[in-house]
Structures are given as structure tokens and as C-alpha cells.
Chain A
Amino acid sequence: DSGVTQTPKHLITATGQRVTLRCSPRSGDLSVYWYQQSLDQGLQFLIQYYNGEERAKGNILERFSAQQFPDLHSELNLSSLELGDSALYFCASSVVGATNEKLFFGSGTQLSVL
């Protein structure tokens, strides 16, 4: 168990809908990362937060947004969902998000858009 908690584990929804994925980082970790894993794209970095502030952005669509709250948990909001958004969404955390820190991954949220 990595200590990173993600909920829900599975989510099934319809196209056009909006969902929120939740992540609680390991105790003491200030930095949270969101990744998307699909069969054809592998693990893609979406966005990183550090202590409530956005630190880095990757291939995140405009329909997606995230935030990190004062208690350090993070939420990833996906809106106007499309079939292609079906994927496994991972949250990872590290202490401060400095270079060469290990990332610890949660078990992911499997999103199916029908």
C-alpha cells in the first residue's frame, strides 16, 4: 500500500457528463500529480500541484481541471466527457515535488465513458 488513496475505484458514466476524481496524498506529502493511462497512450502526465498551487501542466485538456485543497487532498474534474476519456486515472504524491523525488502512486480510478 503506497499510502495514496484514490476514490472512487470505478466510475461509469455517459458522454457529456461531468465527474470528479479524488486523491488523498501520503501523509506529509505536499505535491500531487495526476496521470492518465490509456491502452494506446500509456501513462501521460496531466498536472502537478504543490501545497495548493499549480506547479506544472502536461497534456491536460481544457475540459479537465484540478485543484489542491488546504488539507492537501486533490480533485480532478473531467467535464463534457467523451468516449476517448475512458482510461485509468492515477494520482501520485511526493514530499515537495523536487527533482529526483520518488513518486508514490495510488491504485487509480477506472473511468468508463459509455
Chain B
Amino acid sequence: EDKVVQSPLSLVVHEGDTVTLNCSYEVTNFRSLLWYKQEKKAPTFLFMLTSSGIEKKSGRLSSILDKKELFSILNITATQTGDSAIYLCAVALYAGNMLTFGGGTRLMVKP
């Protein structure tokens, strides 16, 4: 059975801290890994990773994929209160475009 596991389950930090969120997966026919941010309701797309070792960056957020060890990390530097959200990792398989999601990491950034 395909499995995506995120850690930690939740995290509380102060503004300015750097955080690292983890996502490991065990799936057949892996195609890509995606990160989403879920604030109030709708998950919003952050990154899609398909190749190992290539870092994707968007402002203070960055992510990298290791296809050999089957994991990805999402880094957020200089955290702000607006980064408070649930961060979801999902895997897309070779066939089709439906996503298998991990349970999410709930991040709270305190002022």
C-alpha cells in the first residue's frame, strides 16, 4: 500500500526561527512529490519535485528531494506568523494524476 509519512506532526517556533519539515514515502511508480500549504481551508501549491538533488526555492521556502532515500524536506527560513499553517506533502504516481497525501505538519509561528 502506498504510504506518505510526515514529521513532525506539529511544531511551535518563534518568528525568525528556521524550520525543517520532513516527508518520507513508500510508493510504487513514483513520479513526483508536491508540497502544499493549508491555512484556513484550501491547500495551495508550493513546490513540485521530480528530480533528486535539485533544490526548488521560493523566497524563504525551499525544498529538495532524495529519490534514493525516498524523502523530501521543506525548509522555511526566517519564519513569520503568516507561515503558520498545515504543510502537506503528496506523491503523484506514474499513472494518473491523483495525489497520495501525508498527514501533514501543523506549524505555529509565535511572534
Q: Which of A4, A42, A98 is B97 in contact with, Cβ under 8 Å?
A: A98
Q: State the Cβ distance, A95 to closest chain B Cβ, in Å.
A: 10
Given contacts A2-B42, A102-B45, contact A45 B32 (CB under 8 A): no
User: Which one, B11-19, B52-60, B62-70, B88-96, is touching chain A?
Assistant: B88-96
Q: State the Cβ distance, B106 to closest chain A Cβ, in Å.
A: 11
Q: Which of B44, B100, B102 is A45 in contact with, Cβ under 8 Å?
A: B100
Q: A108 interface residue, CB < 8 Å from B?
A: yes
- Which residues of B in the span 68-106 have a Cβ within 8 Å of any Cβ on A? 88, 90, 92-104
Q: Is the CB of B101 within 8 A of A42?
A: yes
**C-alpha gap A83/B111 in the complex (Å):** 38
- Which residues of A in the span 56-97 have a Cβ within 8 Å of any Cβ on B? 56, 58, 88, 90, 94, 97
**C-alpha gap A43/B104 in the complex (Å):** 9
Q: Which of B36, B50, B97 is A48 in contact with, Cβ under 8 Å?
A: B97
**C-alpha gap A31/B100 in the complex (Å):** 17
**C-alpha gap A21/B43 in the complex (Å):** 18
Q: How large is the interface on A (under 10, 10 to 19, 20 to 34, 35 or more residues)?
A: 20 to 34
Q: Is the CB of B97 within 8 A of A103?
A: yes
Q: Is the CB of B41 within 8 A of A45?
A: no
Across-interface contacts of B98 in A (CB, < 8 A): 33, 45, 48, 56, 58
**C-alpha gap A105/B99 in the complex (Å):** 12
Given contacts A56-B96, A100-B31, A100-B50, contact A43 B101 (CB under 8 A): yes
Given contacts A105-B42, A105-B44, contact A99 B99 (CB under 8 A): no
* A residues at B contact (CB < 8 Å): 2, 4, 31, 33, 35, 42-45, 48, 55-56, 58, 88, 90, 94, 97-108
* B residues at A contact (CB < 8 Å): 31-32, 34, 36, 40-45, 48, 50, 88, 90, 92-104
